[in-house]
Structure 1
Amino acid sequence: MNTAAFTKHEIYNKLAGLSEKELASIADFVDFMRHQKKLKPQKVLKLQGILKGCDIDFSDLKRFKTQTWQHVDQEFADE
């Protein structure tokens, strides 16, 4: 079982109910932890404006998200 993947999924689920201020505090803590380990910051790619005027169907994105985490749920159920 990939415990790192399971832990990331668990953390992601716990973040769902937090406020913007609380999420900002957690992001600061993660940045601090990355700084301690001397990890380089991840590059963020902003796509603002590229898709302006396009009709986007988010159902595929939701399905992709479900399929992406499905293996973690299956591994957890097997235990």
Structure 2
Amino acid sequence: MNKEAITKHEIYNKLVGFSQQDLADIAAFIDFMRHKKNLEEKKVVKLQGILKGYDIDFSVLKEMKEKSWLHLEREFENG
């Protein structure tokens, strides 16, 4: 794991126990820091219509997402 990923993971772990208002304040601070450093939001590229006519089952993506974050939930439970 690279240093940036480890640091992000450590920050994520430190958010446990904060109230919803505290988390909103932290998010506002992050937005302020991004604005101050002129960091742009990630641009979303819309590929509307490119998969037209294909039958896609997005339930697999939902399952993959749930499994990929399961380890974090377990860490918080074990605290």
The TM-score, its normalising length taken from structure 2, stands at 0.55
Distance 1:44 1:78 in 2: 36
2:78 match: 78
Moved more, 47-56 or 36-45: 36-45
Mark the runs of 5 or more structure 1 residues left unpaired by the alignment: 8-13, 15-28
State the number of aligned residues: 59
Cross-structure match for 1:17:
none
RMSD of Structure 2 on Structure 1 (CA): 2.9
What stretches of structure 2 of length at least 5 have no aligned partner? 1-8, 21-27
Q: CA deviation at 1:36?
A: 2.7
Q: CA deviation at 1:41?
A: 2.3
Question: What does the per-residue CA deviation read over 1:29-67, in whole Å, with 9 as the maximum and x for residues that have no partner?
Answer: 69x533233212212111101111110111211111101
Higher gyration radius (CA) = 2
The share of aligned pairs that are identical, in percent, is: 46
Question: Hey, what does 2:68 align to over in structure 1?
Answer: 68
Distance between the aligned counterparts of 2:54 and 2:11, measured in 1? 36
1:37 equivalenced with 2:47 (yes/no): no
Q: 1:43 to 1:35 in 2, by over 3 A?
A: same
Q: Which structure has more RCO (C-alpha within 8 Å, separation ≥ 6)? A: 1
Structure 1 segments of 4 or more deviating over 2 A? 2-7
Alpha-carbon distance in 2 for matches of 1:64, 1:71: 12
